[in-house]
Structure formats: C-alpha cells, structure tokens
Structure 1
Amino acid sequence: MSFDQPDEKMRAVVIGGGPAGLAAAYTLQSQSDEWRPVVYEMGDIVGGISRTENNKGYRFDIGGHRFFTKVERVTDFWHEVLEDEFITRPRLSRIYYEGKFYAYPLKIFNALANLGPIEAVKIMASYGYRMVRPHPAEDNLEQWVSNRFGDRLYNTFFKTYTEKVWGMKCTEIRADWAAQRIKNLNVAKAVWNAISGANDTVSLIEEFEYPRLGPGQMWEVCEEKINKRGGHVQKKTEVVKVHRDGNRVTGITIKPRGGEEEFVPGDAFINSMDLKNLIYRFDPPPPQEVIEAANKLKYRDFLIVTLVLDDADPFPDNWIYIHSPEVNVGRIQNFRAWSPDMVPDPNTSSIGMEYFCHEGDGLWEMSDEDLIKLAGKELEHIGLSKADRVKDGMIIRQPKAYPVYDGEYMEALDVILDWIDTLKNFQTAGRNGLHRYNNQDHSILSAMYAAENILGANHSVRDVNVDRAYHEEFTVDEKQKAG
C-alpha cells in the first residue's frame, strides 16, 4: 500500500489486527467521518488469539472463546458486526483429576461424591481453619485462594492446573491474577445452597453465544466492514519501528512479508502489540528505565494440537480442564460442541488438545508428527477416545498467549504505561497491549475507549478490568442442585 498521496482524512494507525485493534478501528469509523483507520497485522488472518484456523474444512479456535460479557456496549458491538450469525450454545465443562471427572463449575454433591466422605470432611475442616486463621497477607495466588477456599481445596482444584498453565509455582503468581480470574465465593454458603436449594445470588451462565463458524468469523467480518467503510486492514505485515519526535509519534515503519520496508505517517496511534516488543521498536528508544522494565515482562506461550477423529462426539463437553499432572495436556476442546458447523463431516469430530509451554522448550520444539502422537496417546490415557481413532492433525504455536503476573510485573508495567501516557498521540490497549490477562470483552472495551479518546474523550484505558470478581473461572456453582 502506498502513502505517497496524503489522505483527506486524518489517519489513525492501529498496530495489531486482533480483537482490540479491529474494535478500535471499527469504533473510530462508527463515531467519526473525519478519521481513516489503517490496521497492520503480522499474521495471515485477523483475530489474534481469537482467530479461527482451518484444516481441510475443520475449523478450530486457538482456545475456546465464549461470547459472554456484562458490558452492554460490547454485546451491541458483537451483534452489530456479526448480525444474525450468532448461535446459542449450552455450556458443559468438567475437570479431570485423579482419574475422575468433576462438574465445572463445581457442584458440591458431585465433588464430594468423587472425593469421598473422608476427604470431604478434611476439605471442610481446612476451609473452616482458614476462616478462623487466614494468611495475614494476600500477595500471591496460593494465599489468595487458600483464604477463600481452604488449603486442601486449593491443593485439589487450583494448584495443579494453575501451575501447569503458567509453568511456575502458585507462590510466584501475584494475587492480582486471582482477583481478576477467580470469583470470590463463600464455600459454606455454596454448601447451604446445595442442601437447601436456595439461590439468592447470581448464578453462572448455563449457555452462551458463539459465532456459527467460530470466533474468527467475528473478526473476519469486522475486517470486511472496516475495509468497505474506507479503512484499510493489511495482513502479513510486521511493524518494525515506531518513530517519535519528543512526546509525539510521527509514524511507523512496516515490513510486508516478502516486501520492502515502508514508512507510514499518522496523526494518532493505537497499539495492541505486546508491550515488550513495542518498547524495543521505538526510535529513538525510550529512557533506559523503561527498557529495563520491558525486559522484566514475561509471557506464557501456548500450542494447540487439533485432532480429527473418526469418532463422532467422543464426549459432550465444550471443554475439559485437565488437572492431572501425569499428562501434559492442560485443556481439551470439542469443537462440534461449540458449533456443529465447525466440523464438515458429522461422522467425525474435531478435538483441540491445548498445551501450555514456553517458546523453545521441549513441547514447543517437538515435531508436528510427535505432537499429534502425544495428543492421541494422552486422549486415550484420559479415557476420552482411542489413539487409533486419530485420522489427521494440525499444530498451531502461539507465542505470548498469556501475560504473566509474577512478582516483578506490576512495578515494571507501571513504569512502561506511565511513560506511554506521556506520548500525546499514542495509546495502548488490549490483552498484550496492557499486559493484562483480560477476556476479549475487556480487551475490546479498552480499545473502544482508546478510539474515543482520539475523538476527545478522556477515558483511562489502563484502568479497564481492574475490578475484582468479574470473571467466573475456577468457581463454585452458586445455582446448586444435588448431583
């Protein structure tokens, strides 16, 4: 794309074509005729970690993405973009631990039946102990969870899975992660609700909306609409430099895959690239303390092994959390349970085996053939299907999938964001752009705020989703029924 001729409209340059980047461009177009957004995405398709990949007609997510939010304007945005392509799907998920499946969200009677009466008594005693003698500090995830659920329940349902996901001890994970991702429920109250049938609190959702062809359909349609409105989304293009003159950004240098570098000027800029790489790309560089802070940010990488089985619907769940340490897989998706249209042949199934790893480690470097064999073997070990039912597979490796909340991140993040706040025409938004483990709704909201700030609003983008107890991951179901 050539920029020899200046646009009549002011140009908003957006770095990254994931949910945040595309939502920013779409919002800017929806609210103003004076701006033209141009979006640069390094990947082959838009959507970031919310994209939908395709292997011979089998569509699959890079992890499952439910479309659920308490933010009404995000819901309105989803439906405006995708219109009537949403379907409503029942939610079913379980936990696999020590050879048994537990309902998830946890149902008290189901969990106690699996654990047995002796272990159940120990769990309740441990919970009671922490109610009387809580950890005096809540600096890390172990302290935060144990204070709310007791040490024994923490060790049973939180510790093994969380350490598998993050590759680090729960004592090294900040309590901030727990505050964002774990809803603060009362175990004693949940037991009473189970016995009495009471339901005096808001229950967790039992169904959710989902694009018929996967979450990537949302972003592919969004891309089309941005282009039709006169914006520009350019894929397979890396942003290699961010140029600034004092406290104003003047443009970026892009490098299309297989092409030459090109300077792109702009009037305003919104970033959704990960902060570590962003800081490295500034020219001239930011102050040394900002670079040192960027060096402290860490990420957890991820790969998914998608298996095609000649076994239709081997299990009914949308997804299963695998807490057992004897297998490497962390979560298993059943994509037909998300949408029947994700699977072209009804006599087959499409299963996503998710592995949490670090770029360059043994799992990451394993060959595709060996990963497919490993995934089939572990699927059989868990008892969900036979390894010889695997007929095809595909591997997607996703670097920097999850920002890590360790002991260094918060101070480092403040240093970086405080410096970015000094730039007059540059904002950062989204999961990696804020180094915040947001779901896509909050990533979208942060991008909407950034777009509106260009138009004169004064939103605090960095404060989106700092409230506690929003998410419902790792919770006890408050709508308790026996069994």
Structure 2
Amino acid sequence: MNEPFTGDRPASRTIIIGAGPAGLTAAYELQKIGAPTIPVVLEASDMVGGISRTEQKNGNRFDIGGHRFFTKVPEVEAMWHEVMQDDFIEVDRLSRIFYRDKFFSYPLKLFNALRNIGLVEAVRILLSYIRWRVRPSKQEDTFEQWVTNRFGRRLYMHFFQSYTRKVWGVDPSEIRSDWAAQRIQNLSLPKAVWNAISGANDTKTLIERFQYPRLGPGMMWEFVRDRVRAAGGEVQMRREVTRIKRSDTRVTSVETRTWSEDGKAVETSVIEGDDFINSMPLRDLIFAFDPPPPPDVVAAAEKLRYRDFLIVTLCLDHPDPFPDNWIYIHSPDVNVARIQNFRAWSPDMLADPNTSSIGMEYFCNQGDALWEMDETALRDLAAKELEALGLAKAEAVTDFAIVRQLKAYPVYDSDYREALEIISAWLKTLENFQTVGRAGLHRYNNQDHSMLSAMYAARNIMGARHDVWEVNTERSYHEDFEVEKDAQRDIAAE
C-alpha cells in the first residue's frame, strides 16, 4: 500500500472509489490535464484493474476473461499507447463457436458454415430471415424479439438462444432489447454473409488483429497505478469504502475499512475530499450513502441485478491444445461458456513455453451450486469438460487456479431501465459527486467507454459539462454478433 499524503493539505483532493479502468483513468486524467487536486484512489482488493486485471499463479498470468484492446475513441487510444509504449503487441485473432459438436469459424466463413450447418438448413435459415424481415414482430422489447426481427427465428435459435441462456441464466425473452442494441446492433445476416464471401468487414470488433499488453491487461493498470503515484497521487489498496457521507447535496467524506493481507479488518477511518468519483457497483453505492437517498431511489437500487462469473484456469503439460485465442461454447451439454488459450494472446503469459494455460469461463450467481463448488471439484469439472469437448485430456492438467468475480455483468432485465432513470436523476443533484464505469453506471460498457466516462468526470471537475450517463448511449458502437457475456470481454475494450 502506498503511504497516504503527509504534506500540507492541497487546495483540493478528489476521492476516487475503485482502482479498475474507470477509477485509475479518472486519476490519470486529473493529473494529465493539470487539475489542482490530489487524486486519492481507494481500492478494496489487493489488485488494480478490476475485471480487467491479470491474475498470476506459479509464473503464469491469466485474465478474468479475454480483453482485446480496440477502440474508436481517440483519447482512449492515445492513453493506451502513452502508458504501454513498446509493451503493446499485435495479436492475430482466431475465434470459433462450438455448436452441435462442430466448430464454426467466427467471424463467419461461408464454406465452413455451409459445411457444418448443411445446405438444407442454410436454405431454411434464409427463408426464416425473409419471413421475419417481411413480417417482423411489432414489439422489440426483448432480446429475443430484437434478434429474431434482424436474423430470423431459425438463426436466433441456432446461435443466440442457448448461449444467451448460458451466459445470463434466464431465457432471452427476459433480457431487454437494449442489450442487443448496444452490443450487436450494426451486424445483419446479409452483412455477415457478404463479409464471409468478400472478406470485407466494416464491423469494427470483428477485426482480424488487435492490440494487447504483453503481460495481459493488468499490465496496463499496473503501469497507470505507478504513474499516478509517481505524479503525487495516491492509490491505496485493501481500503474498502463502506459509507459515503453527505450534507444535503454535497458529499463530504467517505468512511473506509482497511483489510490486512490475511483478510482481517484492521482499521476504520474517515477520508475527507472536495470532489468524489465512484466506480463501485451502483446498487452498492446507493446503499452506502449516509444519510440514505430518498426511499424511491433505494427501492430502485434494490431492483438492479448482476451476473457473477468464475474462471478455472488449467495448466496443461503441453502447448496449444487448440490454436484459437478463444472459443464460444454453445453446447448445452457442458457448463463452460467460453474457453481462453492465454498463450495465443501472448506467449509471455506463460512461465514455460512447453505448457499451456487454458481459461474455462463459467457464468453463475453467488450462492448457486456452481458458485459454491469447492476448488477441487471445479478443477475436476473444468478438466472433464475440456476433455468432453475434445480439446485436451483431463490427465494433462498439472496445475489450476480459480477466480470468482462478483457483479461482473449488469443485467438488463425488465426493471433496470426505470430503476436507472430514478437513480441517475437523484445522483445528478449531487454537486461534487460523479459515478463512472461499467459498474458505476450499470451499463454493459467495454473498457474504452468506461475509461471515457472517467475522462469526462475528471474534466467536469475542471469546469466541463459532460454528461457521463450519455457515454455509449449512441448506437454507433457495436459488438460481435455472437451473444457473449463480454461476454468480458472480448471485453476489453473491448
């Protein structure tokens, strides 16, 4: 943990909750624009980067999912290169979908798709597409309605329905169409077919190459942490914000609990500030205010839901059991939803080039059977499923690591939109408090848009008038047509 500021109290101090991409970007941007304030970043865990961190075990590094670095936001691109410099590498993309015991190239390759799905079924998909384009559903409230109108019922049932259920744990009819509009809105069946035939591609997240930090996305945020500290800012680890104190429409301080390395609470303290930027989950944020917000705001926060996530990383005794960076697993016969091959992202992620590090990603909810499974059972499950998919033998596993991630993905259910409107309206009444990032805005943002919201918040402290709630609400930014959790991304900024 870095030492707290001990000099004369500066003219201003900005308290930043969370050391993920949004929180650290806010601190970095404040220093870059020369704001007369000391950024004080408070992080509850012992690692920076949030869901974009890179964990380590026995010299092997692995992501909490895979995180490509791609953006259409110039200032985010500039920050990445400014921080990473020569430690950015170019990675060739290879990803596939496993469905009905076959591997489908993704992005779509026409002859591969026809060979796997069959000419008869391809004709049925085309006829279904025509039917739904001619007579679409008049309502587009749900994910199911939105996708069916644009791709046809048959393609929806093949490539969207089962994977969406696996990722979110509910039927796609319970997910709002907002999620589809934000993530996959720019791709259509004709465009996918044309791309497959011509090799053209203007759907930006289907790029064939992407940037990636040599030692994983956590490397980026470790560098930003070090730069913030070197410039006089603070990044305090294991410092959990438990209460946010306010006087009418101004926040005055935060109450924190400090945790020791062995997980014991060792100190409670109050930290005063002049401005405040939050990136903790929105529901937790509302419950932390003292005094609490009006009852309707608290009731709205209670309606916000999240999807949790865990990854079982298996170390194998041989390299590259498959060539892909990642594979989407649509099969309902296994629990795993996506599989990463971290060596294919960067060879430097592995301690031994003659081994491999395979990330088995599972979506679940805290308290369910998968979440509560002990580590040995999870290792055995992941190894068994890897073998069942024909990718590697279970006996090849030599080591493993497990990470559980609470509140990884905000859920776009039938209640979330109205709840957000109530919460955001109240938060906007606070004079010196802003909330940013995926968790802080309860929005399924990629890393770059989380960063942009934080940049805007920092500039607002200097007098700008950006509405952080409007970042990534335009419908020009889009995601891969497979329904992924971020399916995180591709997450990274993806």
TM range (shorter): over 0.9
SS in structure 2 at match of 1:218: helix
1:311 corresponds to 2:318: yes
Alignment match of 2:333 (pick from 322, 326, 348) = 326
Q: 1:102-134 CA distances to partner (integer Å, 9 max, x unpaired)? A: 011222332121001111111111001001110
What does residue range 28-107 of structure 1 map to in structure 2 within 5 Å?
28-107=30-109
Rounded Cα–Cα distance in structure 2 between residues aligned with 1:8 and 1:154: 57
For residues 190 and 47 of structure 2, the distance between their equivalents in structure 1, rounded to whole angstroms, comes to 47
SS at match of 2:267: coil
Q: Quick one: distance in 2 between partners of 1:189 and 1:274?
A: 36
How far apart, CA to CA, are the structure 1 residues paired with 2:293 and 2:153?
44
CA-based RMSD: 1.5
Aligned to 1:481: none
- Structure 1 residue 6: deviation in Å? 5.4
Structure-2 residue corresponding to 1:209 = 211
Assess if the C-alpha contact under 8 Å between 1:179 and 1:469 holds in 2.
no
| Paired residue type of 1:32 | G
TM-score after normalising by structure 2: 0.94
Listed as ranges, the gaps of 5+ residues in structure 1 are: 477-483
Distance in 2 between residues matched to 1:102 and 1:76, nearest whole Å: 35
> Whole-Å Cα distance in 2 between the matches of residues 57 and 174 of structure 1?
42
2:139 alignment partner AA: A
- Distance, in Å, in 1 between the alignment partners of 2:201 and 2:190 is 14
Match of 1:259 among 259, 266, 285: 266
* Structure 2 letter corresponding to 1:268: D
In structure 2, what is the equivalent of residue 178 of structure 1? Answer: 180
Matches within 5 A, 1:424-435: 424-435=431-442
Give 1:136's aligned residue: 138
- Other-structure match for 1:370: 377
Cα contact 1:267–1:425 (8 A) shared by 2: yes
Distance in structure 2 (CA, Å) of the matches to 1:232 and 1:452: 19
CA offsets, 1:284-322, max 9 Å, x none? 000000000000000000000000000210001110000
2:492 equivalent in structure 1: none
Query: Would you say the 8 A contact 1:306–1:394 is kept in 2?
Result: yes
Gaps of 5+ in 2: 260-264, 484-494
Which residue is equivalent to 2:452? 445
**1:232-287: CA deviations, max 9, x gaps?**
00011110100000000001011110321101000000000001111111000000
1:413 equivalent in alignment to 2:420: yes
How many residue pairs align between the two structures? 475
Stretch moving more, 186-195 or 208-217: 186-195
Q: Secondary structure at the match of 2:190?
A: helix
CA distance in structure 2 between the partners assigned to 1:247 and 1:323 by the alignment: 48
| Amino acid in the other structure paired with 2:183 | R
CA positional deviation for 1:59: 0.1
Q: Which residue of 2 aligns with 1:235?
A: 237
CA contact (8 A) 1:185 1:475 kept: no
- Structure 1 residue 198, shift from structure 2 partner: 7.2
Deviates more, 1:440-449 or 1:463-472: 463-472
Match of 1:112 among 110, 114, 119: 114
CA contact (8 A) 2:313 2:402 kept: yes
Distance 2:96 2:201 in 1: 24
- What whole-Å deviation, never above 9, does each CA across 1:346-404 have from its counterpart, x for those lacking one? 11000000000001110000000000000000000001100000011011000000000
The answer to whether the 8 Å contact 2:194/2:200 transfers is no
Instruction: Write the letter of the residue equivalent to 1:9.
Output: A
What is the deviation of 1:3? 7.1
Worse overlay, 343-352 or 198-207: 198-207
1:272 lines up with 2:274 in the alignment: no
* Structure 1 residue 82, shift from structure 2 partner: 1.5
Between 1:50-59 and 1:109-118, the stretch displaced more is 109-118
Instruction: Find the partner of 1:123 among 115, 122, 125.
Output: 125
Deviation of 1:473 after TM superposition, in Å, equals 1.6
Q: Secondary structure at the match of 2:266?
A: coil
Inter-partner Cα distance in structure 1 for 2:210 and 2:353 = 23
Are the equivalent residues in 1 in contact too, given 2:53–2:218 (CA < 8 A)?
yes
**SS where residue 321 of structure 1 aligns?**
strand
